[in-house]
A and B are shown apart, each in its own frame.
Chain A
């Protein structure tokens, strides 16, 4: 069993690496765990990456991801290798177990598991994977030098990867489900693709079957208007029709939507305190390197706040209240009457004959603790004895020198 990390990030894509940067920079003991020796997630399998601000001409996915990783390392993020197969988020210390047999412990966990390519689910697809069917152009493009390949899909990834494939293959035919001229990808890529002489287009069509003896020899295309089936000879089929979240290992542990994406609020919090979800595996509108990185920054910042709140509550309130009574005062600098109340509490504590602990919390910054103890009014003073909240006074009108002194009796 390893030492306990403040923040353990599962997945070293752009979301996870950004969480690593923000986490270790704010002095949390941070580690990023990934199944790959090289960080980068899906972005590292993208040849051309030209939409991350500040990086355009000649930027590659692996290149930019290496920079992310170097950045995280420079601030002290540890890198661990392993494929997570089991997690336990039930206690305050979370554990993560890997296929390789290691167990890691952390006070907060950022899940950045990413997504894997979606399958078309047609006859021949699984059988011929690695024998002409591929979901990774940078992995397999070399095999198709001077051969003919098809690309299925027409989103950003499909069109950009198709253009990359034209550097290798003799011809690249894009199978598009929409009517002629309609593509789901961004306009810049669409215009570039339409001008590329090595690209051929089949419109209004889907792939019905992939066939071949040992290696791919053809696809059977279906015209979605007429239902007509046509054989189309090809040596390879590259599939880029979106992704599926890689979240099977946290099913039943945190809330997922009906498609398996992690459900979070805008602080990246899942339904389990101290567990955050970021990147492509999160339910969201736009899945890009920049949005993943933003998620990671938010999650690490939220985790830091969570941990410091937890620490204050445990050390200064719960543990301390075993030796002497502790008052936990919820106030807010924006609310003048709460400031007045707190100074009244201060005076009582100072003048009290027996020692009394006092912890003041800015209610808006310590939302978790406020929610945990059902604080509905600012100010509120809660009395703790032996690690438990035993009494309280609520509202500026009720918090007076007398009422606080009574509370302590």
Chain B
């Protein structure tokens, strides 16, 4: 299961995180976001050894999302030791699905 972050604990959690973190920015109203969600949940279980996965509901939390330069969802943001290192947007996620996330994780672990 992915832990859901809130606007209260988002910054603290990310800043203090070690290694790779992925945050799924979503909203229950966003059809493509909810379509991808089961796949992300599954991937989070499979890849729990290389990356910590979180979900962040942007509803009512727009300011926090915009602080992370997110103004459109779905968006998957990757952090390494608390620093933002990559973003995957709707285009690539719709085209390649979880393969896009796996590739990105491989790329980010290689450079570690």
Contacts and interface: CB of A to CB of B under 8 A. Distances in A.
A142 B94 CA distance: 21
Interface string B21-55: 00000010111111101110000000000000000
B31 A38 contact: yes
A351 interface: no
B71 A130 contact: yes
Contact of B69 (A35, A139, A140, A214): A214
Interface in B83-109: 87, 89-91, 94, 96-99
Interface in A204-222: 214-216
Nearest to B75: A130
B71 A236 contact: yes
B89 A99 contact: no
Interface stretch (B3-11, B12-20, B59-67): B59-67
B70 interface: yes
A166 interface: no
Interface in A57-71: 62
Interface in A81-140: 81, 83, 99-100, 116, 126, 129-134, 136, 138-140
Contacts of A132: 71-72
Interface residues of A, number: 33
B73 interface: yes
B61 to A, nearest CB: 9
19 contacts: A35-B94, A35-B97, A37-B35, A81-B38, A83-B97, A99-B99, A126-B91, A130-B70, A131-B69, A134-B71, A136-B32, A139-B72, A140-B30, A140-B73, A142-B27, A142-B29, A143-B58, A143-B71, A145-B62
A130 B32 contact: no
Nearest to B39: A100
B66 A130 contact: no
Contact of B90 (A130, A143, A216): A130
B58 A62 contact: no
Interface residues of B, number: 31
B76 to A, nearest CB: 10
A143 B25 CA distance: 12
A36 interface: yes
B72 A37 contact: no
A99 B72 contact: no
Interface string A36-67: 11101000110000000000000000100000
Interface of A: 35-38, 40, 44-45, 62, 81, 83, 99-100, 116, 126, 129-134, 136, 138-140, 142-145, 214-216, 235-236
Contacts of A36: 31-32, 34-35
B66 A139 contact: no
B62 A139 contact: no
Contact of B38 (A37, A126, A136): A37
Question: When A and B form their complex, which 10 residue pairs have the shortest distance between CB atoms, in order from nearest?
Answer: A130-B72, A36-B35, A130-B89, A139-B30, A214-B69, A143-B71, A140-B72, A132-B71, A134-B72, A99-B97
A126 B52 CA distance: 28
Contacts of A236: 71
Nearest to A143: B71
Contacts of B58: 142-143
A62 B91 CA distance: 22
A62 B31 contact: yes
Contacts of B39: 100
B37 A37 contact: yes
Contacts of B70: 130-131
A142 B27 CA distance: 10
Given A214-B69, A235-B71, 5 more contacts: A38-B31, A129-B72, A130-B73, A130-B89, A140-B72
A131 B31 contact: no
Nearest to A141: B29
A145 B96 CA distance: 31
A215 B37 contact: no
A138 B30 contact: yes
Nearest to B61: A142
B50 to A, nearest CB: 21
Q: Which of B33, B34, B39 has the largest count of A CB atoms less than 10 A from its CB?
A: B39
A132 B89 CA distance: 12
B71 A139 contact: no
B87 A130 contact: yes
B72 A143 contact: yes
Nearest to A145: B62
Contacts of A136: 30, 32
